[in-house]
Chains A and B, each alone.
Chain A
Amino acid sequence: MRFGVVRFPGSCDETDALLACRRFGEAEIVWHRERDLHGLDAVVLPGGFSYGDYLRVGAIARFSPIMRAIVEFARVGGPVLGICNGFQVLCEARLLPGALLPNTGLRFLCRQVDVRVANADTSFTRACGRGERLSLPVKHGAGRFYAPDEVLDAMEANGQIALRYADGHNPNGSARDAAGVTNEAGNVLGLMPHPEHATDPLTGSTDGGRLFASAVEQIAEGTAVAA
């Protein structure tokens, strides 16, 4: 099992993601100028401020050379996890529906929140139980998930809002308490909370490990299509 963690200029949590992945498999950094994923089994787009998040969060990174390979990898079913800025990049790249707007409080927020697993049948939640609560940290200034109501209705009907903030835990005003959403096929997950910061008992909870374990389980079963 080989994870690849993409490093854009301005990525901040790529080392954290790499460490988290290595608790569950092999992992390596993929420089944004690469054009080939070289047979990786899963891809992580990490948190940070790619390209300074100038123009609009995630808007420049989606044009990075590596993104073309990632779009193709996702199209054929490869597991892609976008965390925080990675989620923003996935929305900009149209791999995920919706967009991420500034928090309703208009401030950056770093705090531990609870999320509930609303769909335990995606590439990154299959090791969780439906309804299970996970304690994960958030840290972002633009994490308010938005999509038009009809899109949200369709997403809910299709189980694409895979993770929801628990009651009273929505830190940013996200529509329908969406903390993490998937594409229709369920192999691409973007979420604002940071599972990579929840894999070491010494630095917080270990609940985030379930997401990485899910991808490992899926690859082991060979249900994903390798790029």
Chain B
Amino acid sequence: MSGASTVEHSTLRHRELGLTDPEYERIVDRLGREPNDVELAVFSLMWSEHCGYKHSRRLLGRLPTEGEHVVMGPGENAGAVDVGDGLAVAFKVESHNHPSAVEPFQGAATGVGGILRDVFAIGARPIAVLDSLRFGELDSARSRYLMNGAVAGIGHYGNSIGVATVGGEILFGEPYESNCLVNAMCVGIAPSERLVRSAAAGVGNLVVLLGALTGRDGIGGASVLASAELGEESASKRPSVQIGDPFEEKKLLECCLELLDRGLLASLQDLGAAGLSSSASEMASKGGVGIDLDVACVPRREPGMEAFEVMVSESQERMLCVVEPARLDAVRAVCDEWDVGATAIGAVTDTRRLRVLEEGEPVGDMPVEALIDDCPLYDLAPQRPVSPVYAAPRARLEAGTALGETLLALLRSENIASKRWAYEQYDGLVGSRTVRRSGSADAAVLHLTHDGTSGAIAVSIDGNGRRVACDPYVGAAEAVLECARNLACVGAEPLGLTNCLNFGNPEKDHIAWQLERAVAGLADACRALGVPVVGGNVSLYNEGGGGPIYPTPIVGMVGRVPDPTSVPESAFVEEGHAVALIGPFRPALAGSELDALRGRLVNGLPEVELKAQARALDAARAAVRSGQLATAHDVSDGGLACALGECCVAGGIGARVDLAGLVRRLAEGGAPRTAETALFGEGPGGVVIAGPGEAIARLAADDDGSDRRVILGETGGDTLVIETGSTARLDIEVAAAREAFERGVADHFS
């Protein structure tokens, strides 16, 4: 059968479903005939960017995935690392960007629901959620609408299901105006032996659908919404957004964990994008088997659904499991107790084909290999852009503003100001594991066991798209470093990493270049720190009317905290404590928040020395683990002055510090505007610490002569005073700093 005639014969329906003509011909070739409607629907989803990773799979192969603590790596529903004492921690981050841009409340809610299912699908109990959100600037009504809806949706789902939302980050920028980002990360815990894989096994075993009824919601979500740019007509896609029901998922979660505890399941898989099509074919592919499904057996929410609709429905709160026939009654009994639906809808076969039946009659028959392994993979054509991709941000601060006013403007700016308005809408306490809540430390800290015998873990999620836009390689590497630094501030060493790559349309050369450089930066930073990537997600085609989003790789990490009782806070906690800086910290104004406030977006960031950064992280971690520190806070957006200001605000205590040494070194290095650079310049490596004078002096004395540990000053009083060695001096009241920091975001919603 020749390709050209094939396309002629078809109705071109494949194009509406997002498949190219050559892709359609490839399907015809693999099937040996033209696909029917059911098969075409299944292929179009399995070969979509969202399910098939056809533009990113080759790149992702560059990320390091092996490490001594890895229990499950990429390819399973979630990754998992060994945290000792027979316990494993599972985690993964995933995007729900396009659904959230179309309908923020349900989009964000089902984003949380989906990532929770990924974690309990491998047998882990979800204990924490973190979110990384991006919106346009808050003076836009649309951005406020999206943020309001997304935050409420995250809270609605996480609060109702009883999983603590313990951290996250929210940043703003004009390129996210029409295409917001909602990335949700879930962390779960399990006895290592309870972890379960998704590979279907045992020819003759039953395939059982658990949970909610199947309706028409979310049909085509993965292909229609997630694998194309957003346009004017996106609002008409609102019916493609799924509706979440956290109560249903709460029952499903408890029921699945009980089924696994009792050893009743051979394998388990969640239903996410592409619904039954994707879950069944992935289970069959991993097990090297086939699966027969009878769509007539699937309990429906509405009458008159076509076979293809049942196969691709993205109705939420459903799981697929494989059960030995002799155990079906026991499975049903547990499900009855939890009021969870359980219906045998098919069986495992030895055909290696996904066969779709309707009342026993075949309506679709596809080789599993064709669906999963034959998905076309495309090489990117990266090309460094010759002209700027992004307009410079709108200037909001005049050059020449006094230093104190500048600091207040930064603390008030929406990227730096407190996100309390958002995180107070999340239950961060349920589960009784939360040792450090949002806003009290750089990373969330969670007990592993309630008797306190197994230590704790720290979790954080980070990324800064604007800096990645300035320099994709350096910006992506910095995301890894910042996440690791946040962990170091609570004494944790990273065990594994998950990432979500949020980019524009990869078929454009300059977006491909961003993607390629960012993955290189991630890979190099992970290797330098010895942190394996255990899973993640890719979200491409994030482009609204105004062009692509900033390239936004988001990094989530889990680390082990040996002693949660001595974890410092990100606040100054006592007057008279010595304040010091652990480096090497080489700030620059290029790409900084201050640069952005002044309406500048540079091309290129200073190089990062990854080996020195790895050593700096070791030093910070060792200092925290000494148990002597009251305060540890990393230097990030807004530079050292903002870090110090945040410590003052959080503790309600002032400080007097002297940065003359740093200014001198910057001058020796030939930096311009040295006082400003020392105060507000950004770059990786810096951690502000504070504690009793002798302890800090001892730590500083360990310095090997480089600029790694410098005593800056002392806490106390009602003002933050920063000397820079010249006439330039910063002096603000803590109360004014607090007002700016607390109101910067909140005032937009009052």
Contacts and interface: CB of A to CB of B under 8 A. Distances in A.
B247 A19 contact: no
B430 A203 contact: no
B450 A202 contact: no
Contact of A202 (B425, B427, B565): B565
A202 B250 contact: no
Given A9-B338, A108-B425, A110-B425, A16 B247 contact: no
A10 B435 contact: no
B424 interface: yes
Given A9-B250, A9-B251, A51-B247, A139 B431 contact: no
Interface in A181-227: 194, 196-197, 200, 202-204
B319 interface: no
A52 B429 contact: no
A191 to B, nearest CB: 15
A94 interface: no
5 contacts: A10-B250, A15-B432, A108-B156, A139-B427, A197-B432
Contacts of B161: 12
B246 A49 contact: yes
Interface residues of A, number: 31
A79 B427 CA distance: 27
Interface in B490-533: none
Contacts of B426: 108, 110
Nearest to B250: A10
A111 interface: yes
Nearest to A200: B432
A13 interface: yes
B359 interface: no
Given A139-B159, A203-B435, A52 B427 contact: no
A147 interface: no
Interface in A115-158: 137, 139, 141
Given A52-B245, A197-B432, A202-B447, A13 B162 contact: yes
B744 interface: no
A19 B428 CA distance: 17
A48 interface: yes
Nearest to A197: B429
Contact of A203 (B156, B162, B425, B447): B447
Nearest to A199: B432
A107 interface: yes
Interface string B236-272: 0000000001111011000000000000000000000
A49 B565 contact: no
Interface residues of B, number: 33
B250 A110 contact: no
B452 interface: yes
Given A139-B427, A203-B447, A52 B247 contact: yes
Given A19-B432, A49-B246, A9 B425 contact: no
B152 interface: yes
B430 A16 contact: yes
Nearest to B159: A108
Contacts of B564: 202
B433 interface: yes
Given A139-B429, A194-B429, A203-B433, A110 B247 contact: no
Contacts of B435: 202-203
A10 B159 contact: no
Contacts of A141: 159
Contacts of B152: 107-108
Nearest to B160: A49
A109 B251 CA distance: 24
B432 A203 contact: yes
Contacts of B339: 9
A128 B250 CA distance: 36
B155 interface: yes
Nearest to B340: A9
A139 B250 CA distance: 18
Interface in B581-610: none
A140 B188 CA distance: 24
Interface in A1-47: 9-13, 15-16, 19-20, 47
A47 B450 CA distance: 19
B97 interface: no
A48 B426 CA distance: 13
A202 B452 contact: yes
Given A9-B338, A12-B162, A202-B564, A107 B425 contact: yes
A54 B431 contact: no
Given A12-B162, A202-B447, A111 B246 contact: no
Interface in B412-431: 423-431
B278 interface: no
A204 to B, nearest CB: 8
B434 interface: yes
Contact of B247 (A54, A111, A139): A54
Given A16-B432, A203-B435, A111 B450 contact: no
Interface string A153-193: 00000000000000000000000000000000000000000
A-B complex: 10 closest residue pairs judged by Cβ atoms: A12-B162, A52-B247, A16-B432, A49-B160, A139-B427, A197-B429, A108-B425, A108-B155, A10-B247, A110-B427
A110 B162 contact: no
Contacts of A47: 430
A219 B433 CA distance: 30
A57 B110 CA distance: 22
B429 to A, nearest CB: 5
A110 B432 contact: no
